[in-house]
Every structure is written in structure tokens, then in C-alpha cells.
Structure 1
Amino acid sequence: MGNFFRPARVSLSMKTKQIKYEALVRAYSDDLYRYGVWLCRDPNIAEDLVQETFLRAWRSLESLKDQGAAKAWLITILRRENARRFERKQFDLVDIEDSYVPDTISVGSEQEVENYLLRRKINELEPEYREPLMLQVIGGFSGEEISGILELNKNTVMTRLFRARNQLKEALEPQEQYRGIENG
């Protein structure tokens, strides 16, 4: 007679898992997508990464014990999915002379130019500085959360964030040789 009630418990457990999963998707899909686009610089690949992230999250949802850590948990899964992409990928090498990459941008406003320059300078940072900065800026993560995601000591993360901001500040300041020219 004990087996008679078992399917109801399984069904209730599955329904609870489904509700929890749907809440995660609603709460974090936009953040994961933005981070994915930043990580791979391709909206289509970012969509695939987010889908794969949520698929893996569904499979191991029981391992998420702390709902407060859900965003960091999902970002970690997304980062690993992105790394797997490179493990599987066979790159087609192209001779640089055969490919043309325009060196100009088409922008319509001063704000777009500033945004473009800021993104360019952020992308020029070394990955060890760029990634914690983007997790903080785009993901809104604290230093402690970033240390968990990147599997680094919190002090290391804080140092890298400090250096990233300083490098960015230096890169965006007018060059020393041009200072004072406008004034006279």
C-alpha cells in the first residue's frame, strides 16, 4: 500500500523543481544573456550558452542549496559552458591578408562614441582584470561572490578590481602630451 502514494510524491517533487527552475529562468535569463554576449561577443552564441546553462541547471537543481547564491551558481555554469565551447571547437585558420576588417565605426551620437571607446578600452584589459570588472559591473556581484565564481581569494579579486579600474582610468584620461594644448 506504501507504493500507492509514491507517484503523488514524485509528481509533487517534480512540480516543486519546475517552479524553482522557472523562477530562476525569469529572474536571471537577462543577466546571463548580457554576460554571455560580453563573454563571447556574439548574441547567437550567447543565446546558446544561456540555453545550455539552464539545461545544466535543470539537471543539477538539487545541488543548489542556497537560493541567494543562484546567480553566482548560474554564472559559473555559463563560464564553464563557454570554456567547453573551446574544447570542442576546431578553429578554421584564415590568412590575415585574406580577411578585411574595417577600422572605422559608424556612430550617430557623441554618447555612442564614448560607449564604443569605453567598451574598447575594457576589452583591451588583460582577462584577469577584465573578467572580475565585468562580473561586478554587468552582473552586480560583490567581491566575495566574484571570488567564488572565479575560484580566487577575495583579496586577489579586490586587487584585480582596483587595478582594472585604475588601468581603465589611465586609458581614458587624455594623453599627457596633449594636456594643456587646448588652453593655450
Structure 2
Amino acid sequence: MITSALPVSADPRSKRESADASATAWALAARTGDTEAVEHFVRALHRDVLRYVSYLCADPQAAEDLAQDTFLRALGSLHRFEGRSSARAWLLSIARRAVIDGFRRAAVRPQQYDCPDWELAVERAQREDVPGFDDGIVLLDLLGTLSDERREAFVLTQMLGLSYQEAAVVSGCPVGTVRSRVARARAALMELVV
């Protein structure tokens, strides 16, 4: 039986590594059909997957569907997960493919919108009573100025806390490229903030 208790640590990196090890253990246990392990696996990584697809797709309404699609894909191919990487990196790479497939589906299905002022309709649909709402809007605007590759590398490493190696696995590019993208993203954001 796998325990969900994690050792207490002051170092955020070791805390994340411990959480990754625990999620990977849950994934490996879930491979054998342990329903409790599946539940723990999903709970452990749902928030990270949701945050990641939210930043990639920039559509809050589609994010939950994409996160669900990610977990459906992952659970369907869990029997092939061998634990060579962390379950988190493996799952985020599946999430990335789910978002890309979502873009492809949307591209072949153009949608018409009847509202003459769609930007105003979008602004009215957003909740403003949430603490940190304005900061989140500013952050989204700042991240929106970055190229897709730099934004993805920045979000994976700086916001989701993945190591550069894990971000490289998720992005499908060399570690040096991830480092370069993050450095350039930081420099671009600093120019905008200062």
C-alpha cells in the first residue's frame, strides 16, 4: 500500500520532488487496476494539468474539458507508463498533445459569433470578484506578449515548477533550448515590467 503522507521539508524543490515521486508511485500502482491509486494519481496532478492547459489554450471554458481529455488519454495508456520519467512530466506531455489536438479540431470547425462587440461580451463574462483577479489579468497580458515557445517554457518551469529537464521532455526539445527560452522570456517580461 502506498502512503499519501509526504515528508515535511522546508526546501520547495525537494517538496516538489517528493510530490512527483509520490504521484509516480500512484501511477505505477494504478497500472495494476488499483482504483484507489487512480483516484490519488488524478487528485495529485489535476491542478497542475488544469493550470498548464489553461495557459496553453487561453480559453478558461475549454481548460476543464482539455484537462479531462488529458486524464482520459492518460488512464487509457497508463498500462504503458513505466516510470522512466515522473508521472507529472508524462501527464503534462499528454496535456500538451491534447491542447494541440484541440487547436486542430477548432481549426477545421470555424465558428460564427453573432455578437457585434465580442470583446465586451468576453469582459462581462469574466468574474471580477475573485481575489487577485486584476493581477491575473496583468499576468495573462504579459505572458501573451511572449512567443508560444517562450511562454510554454516559462509557464512549465517558473509557474508549474518543473525542472528544465522535465520541461524539455514535455516540450519535446533539448534542455538547452528550454533554458534559453526561459532566459529570454524573463528578459522580455522584465523589460515590460520595468
TM range (shorter): 0.7 to 0.9
Q: Does 1:156 align with 2:173?
A: no
Q: How many residues align?
A: 160
Give, in whole Å, the separation in 1 of the partners of 2:33 and 2:80: 14
- The 5 Å alignment of 1:72-151 reads 72-89=89-106, 90-92=109-111, 98-102=116-120, 113-151=134-172
CA RMSD of the aligned region, Å? Answer: 3.1
Residue equivalent to 1:60: 77
| 1:30–1:153 CA distance, 2 compared to 1 (3 A) | same
Structure 1 segments unaligned to the other structure (5+ residues): 1-12, 174-184
Percent identical pairs in the alignment equals 32
Residue equivalent to 1:179: none
3-state SS of 1:66 partner? coil
Picking from 43, 51, 55, the partner of 1:38 is 55
Aligned partners of 2:150 and 2:181 also within 8 Å: yes
TM normalised by structure 2 equals 0.70
Give, in whole Å, the separation in 2 of the partners of 1:91 and 1:57: 28
Structure 2 segments unaligned to the other structure (5+ residues): 1-29
Give, in whole Å, the separation in 1 of the partners of 2:179 and 2:53: 23
**Structure whose CA Rg is larger:** 1
Shift of 1:43: 3.0
The one-letter code matched in structure 2 to 1:49 is: L
Q: Does 1:49 align with 2:66?
A: yes
Give, in whole Å, the separation in 2 of the partners of 1:30 and 1:67: 22
The one-letter code matched in structure 2 to 1:76 is: S
3-state SS of 1:101 partner? helix
